Amino acid sequence: MATDGCVVDGDHVSFPSADRELVGLFAACLGKANTISQFRTKTGGTAYRVQFGDVAFCRWLENIGITGRKSLTIGALDVPNEYVISLARGLLDGDGSIINKLARADTGSRSDYYWEYLQSKFVCASRPHLEWLKDELRRALHIDGLLITRSARNGKHACYTLRYGKRASHVLLPALNRDPAAPRLTRKWLVWQRYLDRHPDVRSSLID
C-alpha cells in the first residue's frame, strides 16, 4: 500500500501494478478474493489491478500514515519495530529493485577486467519517507544507505532513491528473506538467490 496502492474516495482501496504476482500477493495477504483485472497503461503497456471497499482498513491506513494521494507526501509510518523488516521487504517489492550486474572497469591497462556489483534500492517521490526508512534500517540492521536526488525535469516531480551497496546488501537482503514462507516477489528474490548461487562463500558466511 505504501508504494503502489492508493485509497480512493476514503472508503475503497485500489492496488495497480505491472506485476500480476505482486497484485495477487497483496490480495492474498488481506484475505481478499476480488477479481484481478487487466488494463492498458497510458504508455500502452499492460498492468493489473485489484479493488475493494473496506472502510475499516482505509481508516487504519490513515492512522499509520498512508493516506489518499500520498505519493508526494508520505513520510514516517507508524509500524512496530518487529515489523519494520517485513515492511521493508514490501517496499522493495513495490517500488524497489535488486541489481546485480557485471561492469567493465574503467582502466586502459586491461580490456578484460570486470567487476560485479550488487545494489538494493528503494525509490519514492517523497524524501521524508526514505529518510525515515533509512533511519529505521540503520537502527534495525546497523547499515547505512545513500540517499540520492533526481531533480525534477520534463514536467515530472523530483524522485529519490535510497541505495545500499554490496556490503550493506549482504546484511539487508538476508534479513528481508529470512522467513521462506513470507510473501515476496519471485523475480526480485531470484536476483538475490542467483547471486548467492554464484558466490557460495557469501552463502556460507550467512549460514555461519
Q: Give me the residues of the chain with pLDDT under 70, please.
A: 105-113, 155, 207-208
Which CATH fold would you assign to the domain 71-208? Endonuclease I-creI (3.10.28)
pLDDT at position 106 is 64
Q: pLDDT digits over 20-49, tens only? A: 999 999 999 999 999 999 999 989 999 999
CATH of domain 1-70: 3.10.28.10
Sign of CA dihedral 18, 25, 28, 82: negative
pLDDT at position 133 is 98
pLDDT at position 81 is 96
pLDDT at position 85 is 97
Domain with CATH 3.10.28.10 in the chain: 1-70, 71-208
CA atoms of 193 and 203, how far apart (whole Å): 9
How many residues are present in the chain? 208
pTM of the shown model: 0.90
pLDDT at position 198 is 92
pLDDT at position 142 is 97
pLDDT at position 108 is 60
CA atoms of 183 and 19, how far apart (whole Å): 14
CA atoms of 62 and 10, how far apart (whole Å): 9
83: its cell numbers: 515489523
